[in-house]
Amino acid sequence: MALSGTLCALAALVPIALFWGFSVDDAWIVTRVIEVARTTHTFSLHPGEPPVDVVTPLGFAQFIALLSFALQADPPLVARGLGAASWVLSFYVAGRAVAQDKREPFRIAAVALSALVSVTGAAWSGAGLETPYIALLLTLGFVLTENSRSLGPLLLGSAAALRPDLIPLALAAGQLDQMRLRRRAWTLGLTLIPIVLLMAVRFRIFGDFLPLAFRAKPPDFGSGVRYALGSLLLSGPFFWALGARGPLARRLWILILVHGVSLVFAGGDWMPLYRLSCPLLPWVCVLGARAAKGRWSIASLVLMLAGPLLLTIYYRTDSVAVVETRKELIEKARPLVASAERVAAVDIGWLSHATPGKVVDLSGVANPRVARLPGGHTSHLVPSAYLDDAGVDTWVVRVWDAEGEGGAEGERDKLPVPSRAVYAVDGRLLRDAEELGFRAVGSVPIPRTGSSYVILQRELTGGAINGAIRP
């Protein structure tokens, strides 16, 4: 069993190496609050501010901060390295779970191949966010629940508590076996304990049962449908369901259906590579390998390879450059925002490491006031007066290259055209930019994206006091 787990774990290392360097801006937000906590012991964007419910699950930033302190290592490296280890361990557990009967060689090979093609989960394992840790909790929870261990439902509930989109999946997982009603109720109760407990803690700290990210990124049904379909067709291992037969096939189909519906109603996710579906992949590989029979299992293998291959061909080059690109952005933007006192932007992660000033979040992922405004996290209806109320003297706008790299030299001192703003919230505010006194002072190109960040600044006639303009 240990050998089978090791083989699957080694297979999982290959796509991790292929996609190492991938990340998203939100990972820099986590790093920012950890840096602030090192000196203030409060997980907030800036010293002296109350704790903020950032985009990751409650407790994740604290967990990484503790490990970073214990290991005396940089938080981003700890988050990414331990995330990769968690993903590998998930497939180690998956490999051991299938090594139990006469069809062991086929099943081990099937899970190992699945690990090899699970490029979405592998990419996210090194992104510096919570996805691989949730995958490990979920995989262990499924294994222990299957073996009637009480710890199993608790782990499933913990994964769901940290990622609410998994709540339907966690609740359904404990009800699939043929158990007596009393046992089902016990399993359900154990699953709910961590969910209810974390909701209570969140309400106690932030006054809200739901994560701030839920407010900042409200569900959109159409986006959810597209996201769920993309997850099923391109992630790879979900195609095991086509070749599944017998009682395990029913379990596999139910789990996929429940999570798919959850993704639809969650509205999907704006981040690339289907982050929300990744935690389920290792266990889908286990059930798929166990239930695969007949010619359809061969078809499943072929279809399983297609999506990950396309993602690797079209997205790998850009994905592996994200971390280095963000570091370059920070260095290039630093002189342009060095004198800023309050900087407004949608992408606040990298920016919070480039400026000594305070960052004003226009996306709502770390700003409750903006999160509760109508719209999504890139399209909130932020009034132009908010820039005055917040005392913003610098504004970073992402634009397409007509106002960025492509026209940087000739248009460096011109305000971007609203229609060319990448984010709708910036596009609306740009209509009033001249009236508000902003002018462009420079731009920083974002390689391989066809866009740039344009830095706008203005001189405030009065100083900023407590987030408002002094009269």
Chain segment 65-111, per-residue pLDDT in tens: 999 999 999 999 999 999 999 999 999 999 999 987 656 788 899 99
Does residue 287 share a domain with residue 258? yes
Alpha helix positions (H), 72-209: 75-98, 104-117, 119-125, 131-146, 151-162, 167-173, 181-206
Whether 213 and 275 have beta carbons less than 8 Å apart is answered as: no
Tell whether 295 and 427 lie within a shared domain. no
452 in the same domain as 330? yes
Task: Provide the pLDDT confidence category of residue 405 given band limits of 50, 70 and 90.
Answer: very low
Out of 319, 346, 376, a domain closes at 319
Max CA distance (Å), the chain? 80
Which pLDDT band holds residue 464 (cuts at 50, 70, 90)? Answer: very low
In the chain, the percentage of residues whose pLDDT exceeds 90 is 70
Do 149 and 278 fall within a single domain? Answer: yes
Shared domain check, 341 and 312: no
The mean pLDDT of 321-339, rounded to a whole number, is 94
Structure confidence by residue, pLDDT tens digits, 17-70: 999 999 999 999 999 999 999 999 999 999 998 888 876 788 899 999 999 999
Question: How do beta strands 342-345 and 451-457 pair?
Answer: unpaired
Amino acid 101: pLDDT: 62
Average confidence score pLDDT of the chain? 89
**Residue-wise pLDDT tens digits, 254-281:** 999 999 999 999 887 878 999 999 999 9
Picking from 216-230, 314-328, 334-348, 450-464, which range would have the lowest pLDDT averaged per residue? 450-464
Query: What are residue 439's DSSP bridge partners?
Result: 457
Contacts of 328 (CB under 8 A, 6+ apart): 447
Among 291, 319, 347, the domain boundary falls at: 319
Q: Are residues 223 and 98 in the same domain?
A: yes
Contact 343, 357 (CB under 8 A): yes
Same domain, yes or no, for 284 and 358?
Answer: no
Host H or E run for residue 444: strand 439-446
How far, in Å, CA of 455 to CA of 1, rounded?
Answer: 57
157-171, 256-270, 422-436: which has the minimum mean pLDDT?
Answer: 256-270
Residues 124 and 210 in one domain: yes
Mean pLDDT of 114-125: 97
**270 exposed, middle or buried (CB, 10 Å; 0-12, 13-18, 19+)?**
middle
- Residue 80's domain comprises 2-319
Residue 411 tokens read as: 């248009």
Residue range 362-367: average pLDDT? 92
Number of domains the chain is built from: 2
Q: How confident is the model at residue 182 (pLDDT cuts 50, 70, 90)?
A: confident
Looking at the fold, whether 343 and 246 belong to one and the same domain comes out as no
Asked if 365 and 305 sit in the same domain, the reply is: no
Tell me which of 251, 285, 319 is where a domain ends. 319
Instruction: Looking at the structure, tell me whether residues 301 and 423 fall in a common domain.
Output: no
Please give the full DSSP string across 229-258, using - where no structure is assigned. Answer: HHHHHHSSGGGGGGGB-SHHHHHHHHHHHH
| pLDDT of 268 | 77
Kindly state whether residues 265 and 351 are assigned to the same domain.
no
Q: Check residue 245 and give its pLDDT.
A: 86
Q: Name the one residue in this structure whose structure tokens are 């043929």.
A: 178
> What's the confidence (pLDDT) of residue 408?
44
The pTM (predicted TM-score) of the whole model is: 0.92
**Is 429 or 407 the better-scoring residue by pLDDT?**
429
